[in-house]
Chain A
């Protein structure tokens, strides 16, 4: 009888199982980055001298990203307070992230796009979604396209699903999630790497629902992120632990490094950071072990070499005369070459073609803009609901037989 009771449940579960998956991979699994440009948005959200370390965090990331090749025109730097030329600063024009003062983060060539009172929640959301008045200068806009990889770094004081801006207002994780969805719909990014270093940082990426976002936060909910050390001469803490160990890893990276993001994540341990670093990979197509650090932090593009390129102008003329212009052009058509290489990646067998047709309807929905994530979520919830109802019914039918019998006999 027990098995009989269990069987319909099993059948139900099996029927619902295919629909309960949340991930729908539309294309074949890409392993290399195909972005053509890299952008960085570096935001510090704290005001006042004692939040020196947040400015130092952001400037350290700025320096790293600039060193690895992203130009100032593709970096949006938002510093909420001026610490380098602050009258409290014992070293005018310098910002340090270590008490040994080995690196001057401010240096000689720094371009801050948003400073002081300009760093507000409204400006940040406008920056991401590119909704500005016509007067807004180009250097302060995020001019990304569908081939851009964006590295977004935020630091400051935060909490459960919020981040404090300038001690006066807050941005909620839902706001950032909605802004990213707008960016997705407007095709303003290819991949986003979102890094946040605040207290309870992992909650900031919990609400994302747009594809191709990889997020890392420095601490779990109800956990604080700590500063690393203080500088007695400056008088305040100069760097946060998470960013310090991030930089520890990144300082060894140069433009042709083959280290991956998984290596970066593996370098974060609780013993060093004193908080649990969280990574969110479910929205990201590629595995972090396939993503190079330089895909986000550097300005490295993948170049497809044109193998049949003539060595010199004379070679071109010679070959053209030898094999005829048409044939030469055909052999050397770069467009054809690129298409060929593209087709190589997506080798289609019969099953793939079948799944492609099956999934094409999903793709159509994505283009229109329907929420893929919520569709999957509703399927999941329907499954769970059904299972729950079935279990209740079974419980009612099978439980407490002895007591019922007793009552029957009593009455």
Chain B
């Protein structure tokens, strides 16, 4: 009994000791420890009940000394928010900057005005990549570029490995914003290279790695809203990534990487909301039609009203989920802004059944408010959705199309429309595949608004690098001055080349995509790029061979040769006899007869031996 008592005491002592052992250090948020990560969401209602959403993510890496090679003994790499996949890629390919664009859809410039962020973050329909690579010569630069494109194709699940010499151009004046970059080795040069895969399919597999590069990885903050189902249901969406190397000017010669990631989408709000209730866009029942009462209205007639102009839009309805929380580790909290017309629109932030509003319609998601963890919701209300904050007018409208018919030649027609009072100076960049054999001598400028037009007035500078078959695309770069209030049309002709049998893609009859033309609008005084826009891509139909013909020819020829040979052989070798004759011959010289003879021989020899 004393023993059991002793055990009890021992037990309690032990428990006490164990309980005291729980003074482990707590993991909490040290308020002074912040990481460089900014995320912002801008909502801008557009005319026609459309909505533009712009997600912006900005990150910075820890500083490094470019003079110290990453292979040296003392080198170490320290990552906080910056994705770990990028710096080794930049280091191994000597890349100072690269810019990647995944865009899909049509940006309606007439209704929506300028592209977001001055067009600098949007690409053409498909995938576009350009980078600034440091190398000793052009060949080495191309090797680094190829390595970069291949690595990015693995990272972003995109077919960037198809980027080769026949798709890469070295832009002269376009993409000038990518020119200011540090050079780590004075004996080498920086080379700007650009390639594009027009109309490359863009889907969730491109979005997934993008989200995983960001530190929140889709689990909290604004990245929790990024969902392929909603993003790719929009009228226009663009995913872009910009990585640049920035070196500080002070004496410590340290550099760091900066990453800017954007996701922009323009959706039609009523159809996006309707998809939540009716996944398939079916016609409405008669009961749910909104009919115009002023016009004849009965069970057989209904003049539908246009889309309602009042709205109470919740972000959680649009994305089927609220924003989980603000990011928990950044310098500045997550920011949501609404660029709305203050007279008819209001913007509120809703969290834990509390509605907040601010004077400038910008909200910061600090996590003190989100105590229940139910997330943040953003509410846009309007009494008249036709009143939106004014869209920035586009400096120049450009449209490009193919002309001509037939399988051996065609033309390209680019139309510029300048609505402004001042002339617009722009750089027109075009990269055409080698099988589009351009005749620059057929270049013509015409106008419906001005007569007495001279080509030199419009195109002030021309750069043309001819294509080399399978080696280089045709590279056109024109500096153009479009007069005020004018319509200028530029046309030129080309011949279509024939490709080799194995060069045709599996669905050759679909046609071949031609890259979009890139237009960089320069400011009139300083010649700095102000706005960037791209035309649409073009689908060129080349003459495609009938791929079944080799098989057909072989079969037909072999059949005919077989028939001829067979007929001749029969005529020469065979003899027609009657059945009785045949039997007699067979009896005396057939296979059975020979075998019998052989057997007789063997048996006879045996018999003779016995005898």
Interface residues of A (CB under 8 A from B): 47-48, 82, 84-86, 90-94, 101, 104, 106-113, 115-118, 135-140, 166-169, 233, 396-397, 400, 403-404, 407-408
Q: Which residues of A contact B205 (CB under 8 A)?
A: 110-112, 115
Measured between beta carbons, the chain A residues less than 8 angstroms from B592 are 400
Contacts of B208 in A (CB 8 A): 108-111
Q: Contact: A118 with B161, CB < 8 Å?
A: yes
Do A47 and B507 form a contact, CB below 8 Å, given A92-B229, A92-B232, A108-B218? yes
CB distance from B221 to the nearest CB of A (A): 16
Secondary structure of the B contact surface, majority rule: helix
- Asked if A400 meets B596 with Cβ closer than 8 Å, knowing A91-B279, A138-B154, A166-B506, the reply is yes
Proximity bits, B161-185, A CB within 8 Å = 1, else 0: 1100000000000000000000000
Contact of A137 among B150, B233, B279, B602 (CB under 8 A): B150
Q: Which residue of B lies closest to A123 (CB)?
A: B161
Q: Which chain B residues lie closer than 8 Å to A138 at the CB level?
A: 154
Partner of A140, one of B154, B506, B507: B154
SS of A interface (majority): loop
Q: Is the CB of B201 within 8 A of A82?
A: yes
Answer yes or no: B505 CB below 8 A from chain A CBs: yes
> Can you list 20 pairs linking A and B with CB atoms under 8 Å apart?
A47-B506, A47-B507, A48-B507, A82-B201, A85-B104, A85-B203, A90-B280, A90-B281, A92-B229, A93-B230, A101-B279, A106-B228, A110-B205, A111-B208, A116-B159, A135-B161, A137-B150, A137-B155, A167-B506, A404-B599
Query: Which residues of B are at the interface with A, using a C-beta cutoff of 8 A?
Result: 104, 146-147, 150-151, 153-155, 157-159, 161-162, 200-205, 208-209, 218, 227-233, 279-281, 505-507, 547, 592, 595-596, 598-600, 602-603
Residues of B within 8 A of A167 (CB): 506-507
Q: A233: which B residues are within 8 A, CB to CB?
A: 280
List chain A residues, Cβ under 8 A from B603: 404
Q: What B residues does A86 contact at CB under 8 A?
A: 201
| Bound form: Cα–Cα A320–B543 in Å | 83
Most chain B beta-carbon contacts within 10 A, residue among A111, A138, A166, A404: A111
Q: Which residue of B lies closest to A169 (CB)?
A: B506
Contact B204 A110 (CB under 8 A): yes
Q: Is the CB of B162 within 8 A of A93?
A: no
- In the complex, the answer to whether A84 meets B596 with C-beta atoms within 8 Å is no
Within 8 Å CB of B150, what residues of A? 135-137
Contacts of A166 in B (CB 8 A): 506-507
- Give every chain A residue within 8 A of B147 (Cβ-Cβ): 135
**How distant is B584 from chain A, measured CB to nearest CB, in Å?**
14
* Contact of B232 (CB < 8 Å), options: A93, A112, A137: A93
Query: How far is B568's CA from A120's CA once the two chains are assembled, in angstroms?
Result: 45
Residue of B nearest to A117 (CB): B505
B233 lies within 8 A of A92 (CB)? yes
How far, in angstroms, from A138 to B85 measured CA to CA in the complex? 12
| B159 with A396: CB separation less than 8 A | no
Q: Which residues of B contact A407 (CB under 8 A)?
A: 596
Interchain CB contact under 8 A, A113 and B232: no
Contacting pair B596 A397 (CB below 8 A): no
Interchain CB contact under 8 A, A115 and B596? no
Smallest CB–CB gap between A6 and chain B, Å? 18
Known: A47-B507, A117-B159. A403 touches B596 (CB 8 A): yes
Q: Report yes or no: B157 in contact with A113, Cβ–Cβ below 8 A.
A: yes
When distances are taken between beta carbons in the complex, the residues of chain B under 8 Å from A90 are 279-281
CB pair A111–B201 under 8 Å, yes or no, is no
Given contact pairs A93-B230, A118-B159, a sample of 15 additional A-B residue pairs in the complex whose CB atoms are under 8 Å apart: A47-B506, A82-B203, A85-B104, A85-B202, A90-B280, A93-B233, A106-B204, A108-B218, A117-B159, A118-B161, A118-B162, A137-B154, A167-B507, A400-B596, A404-B603
